[in-house]
């Protein structure tokens, strides 16, 4: 197979962005940073499919279904898991991250995550503003990780199948 016919071109790669709708106004800041960064890296923003789910716990199943579809070069997940006093939020976040790792290992589709668990989160403007800004930064980091994961995966596939 000719190397030039398998050259990595980010503009043609479809990416799924799954986000929890809990604290959606904050979490969607991650999507903003994610999109802006991917555009600057040469990706076509119209190829980013945005999939909302009820909460972070629902992200892994959707990630697995999307990965198995064969339509995506990578999948990103974002959510804010806070201590609601009813359940162990750190357990939920750890479970989500472990499940997302398993999805990428099972499907060989890169899965990157910005599911965050702050030590303390309160429903007041100071925390909302801080985490809104923080999620923009996390979106930028998530996009860079996504791009690098796609490139590494594409390179590995070319090496293995050439």
Query: Which positions are catalytic?
Result: 88
Q: Which of 119, 114, 123, 90 is nearest to 28 (CA)?
A: 114
Q: Are 30 and 78 in contact (CB under 8 A)?
A: yes
Q: Which of 134, 126, 116 is nearest to 77 (CA)?
A: 116
Ramachandran sector of residue 70 (left: φ over 0; alpha: ψ -120 to 50; beta: rest): left
**Which residue reads 């962005």 in tokens?**
17
The CA radius of gyration of the chain, in Å to the nearest whole number, is 16
Kindly write down the DSSP assignment for every residue of 103-158, as one continuous string.
HHHHH---EEEEEE--S---SSHHHHHHHHHHHHHHHHHHHHHHHHHHHHHHHHHH
């Amino acid at each position: 197979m000719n190397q030039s016919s398998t050259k990595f071109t980010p503009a043609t790669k479809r990416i799924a962005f799954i986000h929890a709708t809990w604290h959606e106004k904050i979490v969607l800041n991650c999507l903003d940073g994610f999109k802006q960064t991917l555009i600057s890296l040469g990706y076509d923003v119209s190829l980013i499919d945005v999939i909302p789910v009820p909460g972070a716990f629902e992200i892994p199943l959707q990630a697995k279904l999307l990965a198995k579809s064969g339509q995506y070069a990578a999948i990103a997940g974002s959510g804010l898991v806070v201590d609601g006093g009813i359940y162990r939020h750190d357990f939920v976040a750890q479970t989500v991250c472990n499940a997302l790792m398993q999805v990428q290992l099972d499907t060989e589709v890169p899965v990157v995550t910005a599911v965050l668990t702050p030590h303390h989160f309160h429903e007041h403007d100071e925390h909302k503003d801080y985490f809104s800004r923080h999620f923009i930064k996390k979106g930028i980091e998530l996009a860079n990780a996504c791009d690098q994961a796609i490139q590494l995966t594409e390179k590995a596939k070319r090496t293995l199948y050439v």
